[in-house]
Amino acid sequence: MTLDEKLGQLFQSRAGSEAPTGPETRKPFDDLISEIRAGRVGSLLSPHGAAHTNALQRIAVNESRLHIPLLIANDIIHGYRTIYPVPLAEAATWRPEIAQADARMAAAESRAEGTHWVYAPMVDVCRDPRWGRMVETSGEDPFLGAVMAAAKVHGFQGPDLARPDAVMACAKHFVAYGFPEGGRDYGTVDMSLETLHEGPLRPFLAAARGRGPGAVGSIMTSFNEINGVPASGNTYTLRQVLRESWGWNGVVVSDWESVREMIPHGFAADERDAARLGLRAGVDVEMTSRTYREHAASLLQSGDINAGMIDAAVRRVLEAKERLGLFERPYTDESLAAGVVLSPAHRDQARESARRSFVLLKNGREGHDEVLPLPLRAGSLDTPRRLALIGSLADDARATMGTWAGFGQAEDVTTIAAALDKEAGFSVIPVRGSGVGKSAARDLAEVREAAGESDIIVAVVGENEEMNGEGHSRADVTIPAAQVAMLRAAREAADRSDRRTPRRADGVARTPLIVLVMTGRPLALTNIMDLADAVLVIWHPGTEGGPAVADTLMGRSNASGRLPVSFPRTAGQVPVHYDHKSTGRPHKAGERYVNGYLDESNEPLFPFGFGLSYTTFRYGPPKTSGGLSTNGQLEVSMDVTNTGVLAGATVAQLYFQDPIASRTRPVRQLLAFEALDLRPQETRTVSWTIAAEQLAFYSAAPGGPDEGWVVEPGEIRLFAGGDSSAAAMTSIQVIGPRRTHVPAPSP
Ligand code: GLC
């Protein structure tokens, strides 16, 4: 290979995704074709469609000197054409098998349409609801994030990358991108190495270790700096941790122009310097910026980089193409897509995934007069019940799919309005009311009229697909004022109306106002909780979101999601997360000189792991098989009982605290969990085998004898329950020497 051809393999072009359709698009397209012919581009971002990608592939394979096939990459974050719930919603299922199935089906559609490489899973950990990309994460907990990361990598890659339904996954964004200053995207990240390993790095380690035959095939760097060193030039994270400590040998790709962006970071003097820093740190493929192609030759000449760095990177790219089977079979079978894309099985999975992701935050006032599921609480269905459906998000297909919706099409989506319209026994009065913009007074008049003459009001509030995602951070994470005005108008009109729902045992008749929260982040719902009789978080539920909502409102499915992230009372609390430290002056109500606020509680509105159901559950205390040696294992179990009259699902959650250690530890850390479906009155005993390393913490002292994961002897408290406020506790003793080095915890 010539140097030019080697550098070609390390360059990814943002190719036009449409076939050349006219002079205005031909120029860049023609440049691209000549670049492919010359072997000066090794992968393309965004082309899609089997025929179109095959046409590009034929140029590379037939017309370039070395006939090296192209890698075709796309951002398939939660679905290719069938769109699954956003990743934060998948995490809310607490069922890795669901996230894996979503990824598996997204992979099948992607590969059938000519995509070999997907830029997912996004595995950033995030505790800041202001950050727009929380929607793409698995939330605030590194362990839940690690479990989801491993499951999705396995879903995308499957047992063999060469299969026609497999794609190479890409864990991103490496690393700590989810901890930006001020919650502003691309913001500065500064954290201890201990926190880096125990938090943001943990899901990457799970992805890099992989399950079954495959570690993740690629990792994407992030835009942010980490402690003064931009991620794309960070030899500690990219070489010392990823390559040397973890032994991972996949492809590192820059996020967009993050190699070149080391100049505005103030870390690289110019593009030549940026190329030097990127290559030395070990970024293999440069996405869209061309610093490698323009400057590698001169860097080799000056000795700033050596040929081995280039060759190692090229080798990794070619090995990825080999594993994907592209040398033997570079073309996509164009007959595949018709039977795979938007198939009934994929739609069914999208509906099930959405159903399992919904989190019920409130159902009735003071918990005794539930309003959901509808048929059971809205009197008989023999007379159609008038249902006012308010809020433009109810009929917004794009918002229902959410951000990063791949190649999903609005016409594929069944919205909430369309789904409820089909429900027998209801006559739906759709009122656009307030969307995400200002609510016109006219809208409110319509809202009042519909609410006043209905038996049930369902309101959809929150965010559309442009209020979260990349570059969409928000300082104010409340429900938009216009939507609050809409809810208030509906509430007041309903209370004035003389059309009352059947009187209930308590004699209080109130038209139920059910609020559905469509969102890609935890919102501060404080100002709507009193207006609503029920609150269901539906995230951005995807192509089958409407039917999934109808299934849940009608009781065909019982809400079973649990929060993967704390919901704050106000943005002023941020970051508010369950795994906080105790401090020297832990908060005590009524005391002044303690860790707290004058004007707000320390506690979130809803804690990590929280979620209600149409039934109730009892969680037994944790039971253990005794003590634990620092290199041993421990059996822990807990009983969970469905104490209600309806079948339901919950998540048994086990937390731990290391109350005294050579570094302060969080008051709680998620240790294990299991999602359960339980019949009425059924009790299930859940048990886990806990290895000592799962209780470990990271000791930094880089390069010193002490660096690594360690377990110390002493008391460990175990908490079992249905969310992170679980109180049923038992203590165990860890026995062993002062400090034992252990492997990094898995997954
Ligand atoms: C974007 C995103 C990244 C995405 C890439 C390619 O800037 O940060 O997640 O995969 O560029 O579109």
The one-character DSSP state at 567 is B
Smallest Cα–Cα separation from 523: which of 133, 90, 134, 129? 129
Which of 55-59, 77-81, 371-375, 466-470 shows the lowest mean pLDDT across its residues?
A: 371-375
Alpha carbon distance 218, 392 (integer Å): 40
Can you tell me which atom of ligand 1 is nearest the CA of 119? 10
> Would you state the structure tokens that stand for residue 77, as one six-digit string?
């974050």
Asked if the peptide bond before residue 85 counts as cis, ω within 30 degrees of 0, the response is no
Q: Is the pLDDT of residue 662 over 70?
A: yes
Can you tell me which atom of ligand 1 is nearest the CA of 256? 11
Alpha carbon distance 264, 223 (integer Å): 11
Secondary structure class of 72 (helix, strand, coil): strand
Q: Are 605 and 568 in contact (CB under 8 A)?
A: yes
Phi, psi angles (nearest 5°) of residue 106: -65, -35
Ligand 1 centroid from CA 31, angstroms: 23
In the prediction, which pLDDT does 675 show?
A: 98
Ligand 1 centroid from CA 404, angstroms: 10
In the prediction, which pLDDT does 19 show?
A: 43
In the prediction, which pLDDT does 500 show?
A: 56
Give the pLDDT band (50/70/90) at residue 502. Answer: low
Q: What is the pLDDT of residues 125-146, one digit of tens each?
A: 999 999 999 999 999 999 999 9
Asked if residue 255 has its Cβ within 6 Å of ligand 1, the reply is: yes
In the prediction, which pLDDT does 20 show?
A: 42
Q: Are 155 and 104 in contact (CB under 8 A)?
A: yes
Alpha carbon distance 294, 296 (integer Å): 6
Asked if residue 186 has its Cβ within 6 Å of ligand 1, the reply is: no
Mutate to test the pocket of ligand 1, among 123, 220, 257 (most ligand atoms within 8 A of CB): 220
Give the pLDDT band (50/70/90) at residue 376. Answer: low
Alpha carbon distance 109, 162 (integer Å): 15
Mean pLDDT across the stretch 696-725? 90
Residue nearest ligand 1's atom 12 by CA = 75
Look up tokens 């090229």; give the residue. Answer: 314
Can you tell me which atom of ligand 1 is nearest the CA of 46? 12
Q: Are 58 and 512 in contact (CB under 8 A)?
A: no
SS3 labels along 54-69: HHHHHHHHHHCCCCCC
In the prediction, which pLDDT does 330 show?
A: 98
Q: Are 260 and 291 in contact (CB under 8 A)?
A: yes
Ligand 1 centroid from CA 274, angstroms: 19
Asked if residue 470 has its Cβ within 6 Å of ligand 1, the reply is: yes
Ligand 1 centroid from CA 229, angstroms: 20
Residue 722's contacts (CB-CB under 8 Å, 6 or more residues apart) are 562, 609, 610, 611, 617, 619, 650, 651, 652, 653
Helix (H) or strand (E) holding 36: helix 23-37
In the prediction, which pLDDT does 425 show?
A: 82
Alpha carbon distance 470, 186 (integer Å): 9
Can you tell me which atom of ligand 1 is nearest the CA of 73? 6
Amino acid at 461: V
Any idea which residues carry the catalytic annotation?
255
Alpha carbon distance 575, 666 (integer Å): 14
Can you tell me which atom of ligand 1 is nearest the CA of 287? 6
Q: Is the pLDDT of residue 369 over 80?
A: no
Residue nearest ligand 1's atom 8 by CA = 255
Alpha carbon distance 732, 657 (integer Å): 11
In the prediction, which pLDDT does 195 show?
A: 97
Ligand 1 centroid from CA 607, angstroms: 30
Ligand 1 centroid from CA 678, angstroms: 41
Ligand 1 centroid from CA 44, angstroms: 13
Smallest Cα–Cα separation from 148: which of 122, 130, 183, 187? 122
Mean pLDDT across the stretch 451-472? 96
Look up tokens 């634990």; give the residue. Answer: 628
In the prediction, which pLDDT does 24 show?
A: 41
Asked if residue 172 has its Cβ within 6 Å of ligand 1, the reply is: yes
Compute CA distances 673 → 109, 153, 356, 720, 722, whole Å.
31, 20, 16, 9, 10
Smallest Cα–Cα separation from 726: which of 673, 658, 630, 654? 654
Alpha carbon distance 283, 280 (integer Å): 8
Helix (H) or strand (E) holding 673: strand 669-678
Q: What is the pLDDT of residues 507-542, one digit of tens each?
A: 556 789 999 999 999 999 999 999 999 999 999 999
The pTM is what?
Answer: 0.96
Alpha-carbon dihedral angle through residues 51, 57, 62, 67, given to the nearest 10 degrees: -160
Could you tell me which residues are beta bridge partners of residue 717? 657, 731
Phi, psi angles (nearest 5°) of residue 373: -70, 155
> Would you state the structure tokens that stand for residue 90, as one six-digit string?
């998948």
Q: Are 145 and 134 in contact (CB under 8 A)?
A: no
User: How many residues are given for the chain?
Assistant: 747
In the prediction, which pLDDT does 434 show?
A: 66
Look up tokens 């670049």; give the residue. Answer: 35
Mutate to test the pocket of ligand 1, among 78, 118, 119 (most ligand atoms within 8 A of CB): 119
Q: What is the pLDDT of residues 402-425, one digit of tens each?
A: 999 999 999 999 999 999 999 988
Q: What is the pLDDT of residues 344-357, one digit of tens each?
A: 999 999 999 999 99
CB atoms within 10 A of CB 55: 15
Ligand 1 centroid from CA 255, angstroms: 6
Residue 710's contacts (CB-CB under 8 Å, 6 or more residues apart) are 696, 697, 698, 699, 739, 740, 741, 742
HSE-up of residue 5 (Cα within 13 Å, Cβ side):
14
Q: Are 464 and 398 in contact (CB under 8 A)?
A: yes
In the prediction, which pLDDT does 499 show?
A: 63
Alpha carbon distance 339, 158 (integer Å): 19
Helix (H) or strand (E) holding 310: helix 307-323
Q: What is the pLDDT of residues 611-653, one digit of tens each?
A: 999 999 999 999 998 889 988 899 999 999 999 999 999 999 9
Ligand 1 centroid from CA 122, angstroms: 10
Asked if residue 75 has its Cβ within 6 Å of ligand 1, the reply is: yes
Mean pLDDT across the stretch 54-61? 97
Can you tell me which atom of ligand 1 is nearest the CA of 173? 9
